[in-house]
Amino acid sequence: MSRSSPTAPENAQSVSDLARQVRSVLDGSFESVWVKGELSNYRAYGSGHWYFTLKDEEAQLKAAMFGRDNRKVRFTPQDGDEILVRGRVDLYTRRGDLQIVVDHMEPLGAGRLHQEFERLKSRLGGEGLFDADRKKALPAVPRRIGIVTSEKAAALQDMLRVLSMRDETLAITLAPARVQGDGAAATIAAALDLLNRASDVEVILCGRGGGSMEDLWAFNEEIVARAIARSRIPVVSGVGHEIDFTIADFVADARAPTPTAAAEMAVPIRRDLEAMVTDRLQRLVGAQERFLTRRAQRVDELSARLQSSSPRRRLSQRAQRLEDATQRLQGAMQRGHVLRQSRASTALQRLEAASPARRLVSLHQRVQHSRQRLGRAGYVSMVGRRERLETGRRALGLLGPLQSLGRGYSIATAEEDGRVLRSAQGSRVGDLLRLRLAQGALRCKVEEVLSDEDLDLRGRVRK
């Protein structure tokens, strides 16, 4: 006896279909997760992509970080590093591997700092310390610059070099502070307060060179943010490199990507200013010379005109113009008189047409006409009402109960309670009835009760 081969059920899925379903569930549930663990099996390929494994004592997870994201990582990963990553959980369907696609990576320890950074940023932002309307404008041409940084930092030398190149006459006041390590934030805040007590400092540069998040952390502390916020002098923050952002950057009146850029932002180039002033002075002198030239030409023209026209000639011209004006005035007065006469005649005619006597005659005629119409309407209404009354009287005569009694009908009522009988079944043998006729009434006693079946069509008793 042969065995039949098994058939697949109708709801069976292919491997790729099931893998895609699992992948869609993962995409919707784990779009952005933070994971910490030990890095192992790290591989960097020529395509720029990184592939590695995250593991701890009990589990491991494959991971991938593509070139567009790992270019922002500021350290070189190595097997054994404790790292913190952010990414989305995905299923690599070709091999069926569960993996995390990483878009951010940092050494473990910076993750805690990052959370503290975000909490402080959210709180200070809620207080309005980052609002644009509280930020002060930088002076156009400052004469004295205050600097808050370490006196041993390379960033200080870079700022001094840039400031000297841009304006060699610029005065500089240094308020040295520690920019890294325990207590650094307090020294930065104290240096800012110290410069604010100086009367001649017009703008403050506050910053340091690049480093890790831990190195720059002093500029993420609340004490520094509060000192910048209460500064009466505009503060330019220049901390780290272009990709670095600190709380001080958000609170400061201006943010520069580096300390050197902060110096360039705060102080214009003196040679450019001098060239601009020279250019504007030359333009002003040129404009003044052209103005004086035009005025001199105007004076020459007026002088020539005065010499060419004597007072007697000008008087004759004025007399002729006066004569012309007198003739035009007389003509205008005559035309105005004729026009006013025409308007007066027209108004008189309209007044006569609207006289009270003529209007009274018209109103009297309208009253007579209305009186005639009212009389005719009253007569027609009275005739109509009389005809409707007669018609109603006739209809009442035809439909009234007394007229029905006159045709041989009667109304039977119970003697006991006066109710009108509409059916023979409403009385019993021996009941006293009152029959109302067209003229008078009869008092009767019921001797027999008959139903419709006992009567013929003419109302007589069937035999």
- H or E, element range at 53: strand 50-55
* Number of Cβ atoms within 10 Å of the Cβ of 393: 10
Q: What is the pLDDT of residue 156?
A: 92
Q: What is the pLDDT of residue 109?
A: 63
93: its two tokens: 């369907």
Q: What is the pLDDT of residue 372?
A: 87
Contact at 8 Å (CB) between 166 and 263? yes
9: its two tokens: 């059920």
Q: What are phi and psi of 435, to 5 degrees?
A: -105, 115
**Structural domains of the chain ordered from first start:** 16-108 (2.40.50.140), 114-268 (3.40.50.10550), 405-454 (no CATH)
Spacing of C-alpha 35 from chain mean position: 39
* Number of Cβ atoms within 10 Å of the Cβ of 434: 16
Q: What is the pLDDT of residue 22?
A: 64
170: its two tokens: 């610029």
Q: What is the pLDDT of residue 430?
A: 84
Question: For residues 142 and 139, what is the distance between their CA atoms, to the nearest angstrom?
Answer: 6
Question: For residues 173 and 191, what is the distance between their CA atoms, to the nearest angstrom?
Answer: 11
Question: For residues 386 and 403, what is the distance between their CA atoms, to the nearest angstrom?
Answer: 23
CA angle 104, 105, 111 (to 5 degrees): 100
Strand order in the sheet with 432-436: 411-414, 432-436, 441-445
Q: What is the pLDDT of residue 23?
A: 65
Beta bridge partners of 362: none
Below-50 pLDDT ranges, the chain: 1-2
DSSP string, 205-232: EEEE----TTTTGGGGSHHHHHHHHT-S
DSSP letter (8 states) at residue 419 = P
152 burial class (0-12, 13-18, 19+ CB within 10 angstroms)? exposed
| 20-25: long-range contacts, CB 8 A cutoff, minimum separation 24 | 20/93, 22/91, 23/90, 23/91, 23/93
Question: Nearest CA to 201 among 160, 145, 137?
Answer: 145
DSSP string, 291-358: HHHHHHHHHHHHHHHHHHS-HHHHHHHHHHHHHHHHHHHHHHHHHHHHHHHHHHHHHHHHHHHT-HHH
CA angle 136, 132, 255 (to 5 degrees): 70
Amino acid identity for residue 452 in this structure: D
173: its two tokens: 């006041």
